[in-house]
Structure 1
Amino acid sequence: MDFELTAEQEALKDAVRALLKRSYDFDLVKRTLDGDQGWRTDVWQALRDMGVLGLTVGEEYGGAGAGPVEVAVVMGEIGRLHIPEPVLSCAFVPAEVIARAGDHRQKETYLSAIAAGSSLGALAHEEEGDRWPHRRVATTARPTADGYALSGAKALVRHGDCADFLIVSARCDGELALFVVDVSAEGVTRTPYRSHDGRRGAHVTFADAAAERLAAGDAAEVLRYAEVLEQVALCAEAVGAMDEALRMTTEYLTVRRQFGVPLSSFQALKHRAADLYVLVELARSLTLYATSVLEEGIADVVVASRAKLQVCRAARALGHEAIHLHGGIGVTDEHPIGHYASRLMSIEQTLGGADDHLAALASAVDEYETITVG
């Protein structure tokens, strides 16, 4: 198992970092998150032109045909620079679901649109009252003359407020299935929300909304793969964010002076910074391992959960310590460290927090199966 990036992957990382640095500074990120949309269309188009949106889409549908390692590379840079564009929610995850669940026509329609940046998707799977890893899926679908009609509600659809289509899990004749729903269809109602880190989403209700069924034979397997991919990608984003937060914190300790000397001269503060470095490196190692396993075609939910557990622990500790070591300025809205801590806390609570993953690993719940994807 090789944990080193290839020359092409290094070039991708450098190109994405350069693009995002040109596009944003901290003040512009803040203004963008405070805006109506929460991200910039021009940056989305630039990412499209670079091929990022179609990174995992097959070449026959206009993409690059890349894999989980490239996804992790991009997400690491997004986390490092605190970028708000919904690349994971609206491009990577829906593209993987369509690629694994759709027939050729559906792939041609939706994957080509995702790669071209002309259509944004979002996965709508969670429902009110769900707690990871358990999903009850009470939404239902019934056959009609023209397709299917969907009824029910989905909660916490990440970036569902800006998606053009939703991939919805529902039960049809008692069987779990996946459906594509145009958000402009009659019977679809979206209630947007804003999370504490400035990201967006929507609660969505369906009242006999027209839907198209994806051709997947095993929707549960597709959903498990999508969740593992999202977990690993979020871990990569968190590691990038922690890298930058730790860099800012150690830099602050070298320039902030107290009693006439830099804060970095105090041994206790050095030890605290060293402890944070160890936590970040542990999170990085487990994230690299989970990414490598996924790259080999194995969607191992146990490996992903172990990585997420370590990321959750590191993210919370680093967020708290970074704010504390910055002192009073760390709790102001004008300094980036609090924004990084907020994003890390949001990632920690997405698809299960530390307690959830620890309990799931300890009890070996039924959802924890090793799925080999051919």
Structure 2
Amino acid sequence: MNFEPTEDRRMLADTLNRFVSEQYGFETRNAIAYGDVGMAPALWSQFAELGAIGALFSEADGGFGGAGFDIAVVFEALGRGLVVEPFLGALLVGRALAAAGSEAQKALLAELIDGSQIGALAHDEPGNHYELGRVATRAKREGDGWTLSGAKAVVVQGDNADLLLVSARTSGEIDSEDGISLFLVPGDAAGVTRRGMGRMDGGRVAEITFEQVQLGADALLGEEGRGFATLELTVGTGVLALCAEALGAMEIAKRDTLEYLQTRKQFGVAIGSFQALQHRMADLLLEIEQSRSAVINAAAALDADRVTRERALSAAKYTIGRIGALVAEESIQMHGGIGMTWELPLSHYAKRLVMIDHELGDEDHHLARFMALGREDAE
């Protein structure tokens, strides 16, 4: 199999990298990331005009990409600039719409792709630990519609979202994969309360409560009680996106550390000439290449059968979690005390790498999942 990027993907990567470099500099990024809104609507529109959102979806869904490698190209470029705009939400909500939506629901894809609507996945709940099938939020039939009640935690860009994709239990036990349904809920619907807050690595998250939210029959996405498969498929694309984003962040941490080793002098010579630091940097380069291989493997497996796909995704997320923490620690240590300062971009890349490990399942969760899927395949 040829893993070389196509000409179109190279052009997309070049365009995004150039735009991020020119328009999303470090000071600009921090002003956006730690501001009250946690994103820049004007830049979000420009990203959409460049085709960065459209590249995440197939032509049939109104985009011009949609393959695993297209997702990886976009998010690696975003990771290089620590972009905080709501790409992940657009990907998650859009892929769920594409997989299970009715024709009327799929019409919403156009608004996600052109950036006029912001989407967010509201699945994680207070007290849960990455268990995809554990859902306590409830939806009950009321006439032709539904009544939704419950709470969701750490919803990325949840306070800015126009459209929420909400998982809710319509039957079954709290930790059963059966009985989970997915609903499309307007962010400003009556009974929806959002409490936004800043993330330590920039951007925004929200705690969202649903108090007797009245929904029409058209709010149900896919079949009642059979939303787990769509949820798993959707979250899988998000795992790939986060792994690619981490890879982009690692590349910049590596670049900046190499530059520091080549310019910082001690005893009259560059510290990069010290053998101990050379060995540590060589080990780091090998680990980052291993991360790239894991991302490539996950991107290639995105359209494979379920077990192959999910094992490749969990393997990549475990690898990224382990190596991301290593890159953050080693890069800071080789910079010395300056590596921890707010003014140095490296500290922000390190924070993002650590936080990516905790999104959509940390390395411990995905290692256990990888092993469980292997046993399942053997049976």
* TM bin (shorter chain): over 0.9
1:296-340, Cα deviation, whole Å (9 max, x unpaired): 575721111111111111100110111111112111100001000
Distance in structure 1 (CA, Å) of the matches to 2:83 and 2:325: 20
Conserved? CA contact 2:86–2:118, under 8 Å: no
Contact map agreement 1:315 1:344 (CA 8 A) in 2: yes
| Distance in 2 (alpha carbons) for counterparts of 1:332 and 1:182 | 40
Identify the residue that residue 357 of structure 2 maps to in structure 1: 348
Between the aligned partners of 1:192 and 1:126, the Cα distance in structure 2 is: 15
1:282-297 equivalences in 2 (<5 Å): 282-296=290-304
Structure 2 CA distance, aligned partners of 1:369 and 1:177?
26
> Cα deviations across residues 195-250 of structure 1 (Å, max 9, x unaligned)?
21012111111011123111347311111111111111111010110011001001
Query: What is the CA–CA distance in structure 1 between the aligned matches of 2:299 and 2:57, rounded to whole Å?
Result: 18
Question: Residue 133 of structure 1: CA displacement?
Answer: 3.4
**What letter corresponds to residue 362 of structure 2 in structure 1?**
G
State the partner residue of 1:176. 180
Partner residue, 1:206: 210
- Per the alignment, residue 94 of structure 2 pairs with 95
TM-score by length of 2: 0.92
* Aligned counterpart, 2:197: 193
Letter in 2 for 1:17: N
Counterpart Cα distance in 1 of 2:167 and 2:36: 28
Match of 2:270?
Answer: 262
Counterpart of 1:39 in 2: which secondary structure? coil
The SS at the match of 2:54 is coil
Task: Classify 1:61/1:135 alpha carbon distance in 2 versus 1 (closer, same or farther; 3 Å).
Answer: closer
Task: Give 1:58 deviation, angstroms.
Answer: 4.5
Distance in 2 of aligned mates of 1:80 and 1:290: 19
The match for 1:166 is: 164
Q: Give me the identity figure in percent.
A: 39
Deviation readout 1:66-98 (Å, 9 max, x if unpaired)? 322111101000001211112122x11110011
Tell me the TM-score normalised to structure 1 length. 0.93
1:228 aligned residue (228, 231, 236): 236
Q: Which residue of 1 aligns with 2:325?
A: 316
Say if 2:71 and 2:240, in contact at 8 Å, map to a contact too. no
The 8 Å contact of residues 92 and 238 in structure 2, kept in 1 or not, is answered as yes
| Pairing of 1:139-150 with structure 2 (within 5 A) | 139-145=137-143, 147-150=145-148
- Cα displacement (A) at 1:101: 1.5
State how far apart, in whole Å, the 2-side matches of 1:37 and 1:297 are: 40
Decide whether the 8 Å contact of 2:132 with 2:232 is kept in 1.
Answer: no
The change in CA–CA distance for 1:226 and 1:208 in structure 2 (over 3 A counts) is: same
The answer for the alignment partner of 2:336 in structure 1 is 327
Which moved further from structure 2: 238-247 or 164-173?
164-173
1:127 aligned residue: 125
Q: Which moved more, 1:97-106 or 1:79-88?
A: 79-88
- How many residues are matched? 367
Distance 2:94 2:43 in 1: 19
Contact map agreement 1:114 1:120 (CA 8 A) in 2: yes
Instruction: Note the C-alpha offset of 1:53.
Output: 1.9
Given the superposition, is the C-alpha separation of residues 60 and 272 from structure 1 closer, same or farther in structure 2, using an over 3 Å criterion?
Answer: closer
CA distance in 2, matches of 1:112, 1:127: 29
**Aligned partners of 2:181 and 2:374: how far apart in 1?**
22
**Alpha-carbon RMSD:** 1.9
Residue aligned with 2:85, SS: coil
User: What secondary structure does 2:301 align onto?
Assistant: helix
CA separation in 2, counterparts of 1:348 and 1:274? 23
Cα distance, 1:358–1:57 mapped onto 2, change above 3 Å: closer
Segments of 5+ residues of structure 2 without an aligned counterpart are 173-178
| AA at the equivalent of 1:359 | A
Contact 1:165/1:183, CA 8 A, preserved across alignment = yes
State how far apart, in whole Å, the 2-side matches of 1:53 and 1:153 are: 29
Letter in 1 for 2:118: L
Distance 2:354 2:60 in 1: 38
1:215 is matched with 222
Cα distance in structure 1, aligned partners of 2:143 and 2:372: 45
Distance 2:277 2:373 in 1: 39
- Aligned counterpart, 2:175: none
Alpha-carbon distance between aligned partners in 1 of 2:112 and 2:137, rounded to the nearest angstrom: 26
Provide the residue aligned with 1:37 in structure 2. Answer: 37
Q: Could you say what secondary structure the match of 2:42 adopts?
A: helix
Structure 1 residues 236 and 60 mapped into 2: Cα distance closer, same or farther (>3 Å)? closer
Structure 2 equivalent of residue 18 of structure 1: 18
Higher mean C-alpha deviation, range 209-218 or range 121-130: 209-218
Query: Could you tell me how far 1:156 is from its partner in structure 2?
Result: 1.4
Per-residue deviation, 1:57: 3.6
Deviation at 1:54, TM superposition (A): 2.5
Any gaps of 5 or more consecutive residues in structure 1? none
Instruction: State the alpha-carbon separation in 1 of the partners of residues 317 and 116 from structure 2.
Output: 32
Contact 1:301-1:369 within 8 A present in 2 as well: no
